[in-house]
Amino acid sequence: MKKWLLLFTLLPISVFASSIKGINEDYQDWDLVCDNTGTCYMSGYQSDDWDDMPVSVLFTRPAGENAKVSGKLSFLAYDQEKEKNIPIGKFAEILINGQSLGKMQKENVDDIHTEYSLTDTQITTLLNALKKDTEIQIISGEFKGKLSDKGAAAAMLRMDEFQQRLNTPSALIRKGNSTKPVLAPRPAPKITAIAIPNRQEYILKKGTKQFDEVMALLRQANGTDE
């Protein structure tokens, strides 16, 4: 499973008071990462069955009441057993219980990796399908893969909880009519580079006072006297 690196930086105390603590959680074949801006990334994969081809769907949703969900599909068209590429077509399709969601044209592509953007209709249909036991197939040319639905509903519910959408109209799982405010987006932290005034190399010679002082500090940090 892919993991996301959450960035942090030194900020004034007043900013920490309203900052968001991110999460990084696994739900069977789905991962959920929500960062300190309130944006959540929910990614699903093929099942753990070795025979299943590598596929991935990434849903991204920022914080905020009117924030939309965007979606990306990608897969790896490579037969590990035969050690050769699998020919793919110009388009790819997602099939929900045998019904196509429509053709998608590839975007970023190399010899074996492809990426596709999902339309709003495809995203809504796929999210609804993932709430229950559903067969989800990915096809393109000779490539055939399956997206696992295991853990997707739990990941969606947790995303709703993190973004404070439970029982509100914008919730993915537990919709309601509550008018309580949802999580507001936070600005991304700014990282300020600090200039290093002296970039000259300095060689510590064994037996000098500076050498002994540095070695003492290293031993202290390492918890040893040797």
Q: Residue 213 to residues 173, 222, 225: CA-CA distances in angstroms?
A: 60, 14, 13
- pTM here is 0.76
Q: Tell me the two tokens of residue 72.
A: 């990306």
Q: Residue 105 to residues 74, 90, 140, 141, 216: CA-CA distances in angstroms?
A: 12, 6, 10, 12, 62
Nearest residue to 96 (alpha-carbon basis) of 141, 43, 57, 48: 57
Count of positions (residues) in the chain: 226
pLDDT > 90 in the chain, percent: 59
Least confident of 41-45, 145-149, 220-224: 220-224
- Quote the pLDDT of residue 199: 65
Q: What is the CATH T-level fold of the domain 13-162, as seen in this structure?
A: Immunoglobulin-like (2.60.40)
* SS3 sequence of 76-144: ECEECCCCEECCCCCEEEEEECCEEEEEEECCCECCCEEEEECCHHHHHHHHHHCCCCCCEEEEECCEE
pLDDT (mean) for 125-141 = 95
pLDDT surpasses 50 at 2: no
Domain ranges of the chain: 13-162
pLDDT tens figures, 159-212: 999 999 999 999 999 999 999 999 999 988 787 777 766 666 767 788 888 888
Assess contact for 90 and 78: CB atoms under 8 A: no
- Quote the pLDDT of residue 14: 35
- Quote the pLDDT of residue 68: 96
pLDDT tens figures, 91-102: 999 999 999 999
pLDDT (mean) for 42-57 = 87
Across all residues in the chain, what is the average pLDDT? 85
What's the pLDDT band for 81 if we cut at 50, 70, 90? confident
Least confident of 103-107, 149-153, 178-182, 202-206: 202-206
pLDDT tens figures, 156-171: 999 999 999 999 999 9
